[in-house]
Amino acid sequence: MAPNMLSQALPIDVGIGAPLLEVRGVVRSFALPRSGFAPASRVQAVTDVSFSIAPGEVLGLVGESGSGKSTLARLVMRLLAPDHGSVFFEGRDLAALVGADLKRFRGTVQMVFQDPYASLNPRRNVGQAIDEVLALHGGQNRAERHVLAGDLLERVGLGRSDIARRPHEFSGGQRQRIAIARALAVKPRVLVADEPVSALDVSVQAGILALLRDLQSSFNLAMLFISHDLGVVELMADRVMVLYLGRVMEVASVRSVFREPRHPYTAGLLWAAPGARRRRGQPVLLKDEIPSPADPPSGCVFRTRCPFAQSECAQSVPPLRTVRPGHQIACLRDDLALEAPGPHA
């Protein structure tokens, strides 16, 4: 990229080191609307989840609908508070951030949502949308902000002249590029991307993913990248965390998760992906439907769909344990030899 205002405005190399973001034992539930005479109940959206993300690292978060992915994203953004546990950014508890520290956090951790249209005000043109965040966090004067907004639009593959156009004049993919430019405007060190391509046509998904990957490496962005699409996560992530009914089932490097999964749920997800059944190996088939998050199974929450469940699986909640360096699973059995479908032909 040619040296311009954008290159000064965005972070450069911050180096891999201590965690930038750390989530420790977070729990979050929601009250469900009371129905008839039934007692009030709660849904446990996230239960005892811990993870960390290093500077410049991409953690992929996968799981079926309702597994707690967006709840975790909102906890990390401090859009929600945990019932228990804590989220730390640069070693500081988010719950304790106030004033200038909170403002800095709001600038440093940015989010890209599934629906770019919902995050853009239809009455404001693109320049105004970007200017709004720059004025709040950037510290430049109006003329500098105008130049910077143009730089940002070019950086995400749009034109400087697009600055005067309104969101409805763009396609879904272009709108997601605008949302990304807006998120980048405030020099983030962390980007939380919640299903950033799942609302887009398949034909434009690859372009947005390539852009995110390019920006991630250019600016050494740490990312929490959420998707229910395993292929997308494999493309984007360094490490992967698999969630089921709000609990962590497996965490490992992207290669380990896709080639040597050690948790039956991960293996089942891989075998359920399109095209997997045509490949070699012994498929791991998931049984039945996902249970209601309001009434999860006892013991291992995955046991009603697990082909390897035993009676002990109904009694004890499996702790997350290390099966080899950097690879953890929550499964009581250590005698399973699971096969992955293997790489695409």
Residue (238 or 250) nearer to ligand SF4, CB: 250
Q: How far apart are CA 211 and CA 157, in angstroms?
A: 8
Single out the residue of 117, 132, 333, 339 in contact with ligand SF4 (rule: CB under 6 A). Answer: 333
The closest of 208, 115, 206 to 167, measured between CA atoms, is: 115
Q: What is the CA radius of gyration of the chain?
A: 21
Burial class (CB in 10 A: 0-12, 13-18, 19+), 3: exposed
- Binding segment (CB under 6 A) for ligand ATP, from list 19-27, 60-68, 144-152, 175-183: 60-68
* Residue 299 C-beta: closest distance to ligand SF4, Å: 7
CB of 232: closest distance to ligand SF4 in angstroms? Answer: 25
**Are the C-beta atoms of 21 and 88 separated by less than 8 Å?**
yes
Contact flag: residue 172 with ligand ATP (CB under 6 A):
no
One-letter identity of residue 319 = P
- Counting contacts by CB under 6 A, is residue 245 touching ligand SF4? no
Cross-strand bridge partners of residue 328: 251, 322
67 binds Mg ion (CB under 5 A): no
The interface mask with ligand ATP, positions 210-229, x = CB under 6 A, is: ------------------x-
Closest separation between CB of residue 323 and ligand SF4, Å?
Answer: 12
> Strand 321-324 and strand 109-112: pairing?
unpaired
Dihedral angle, C-alpha 201, 206, 207, 212, nearest 10 °:
120
Q: CB–CB of 221/188 below 8 Å?
A: yes
Give the range of 65-73, 133-141, 278-286, 316-324 binding ligand ATP by CB under 6 A: 65-73
Please pick, from the candidates 19, 66, 157, 231, the single residue that binds ligand ATP as defined by CB under 6 A: 66
Length of the chain: 345
The region of 59-67, 84-92, 151-159, 172-180 touching ligand ATP under the rule CB under 6 A is: 59-67
Q: What residue ranges bind ligand SF4 (CB under 6 A)? A: 264, 300, 302-303, 306, 308-309, 313, 318, 331-333
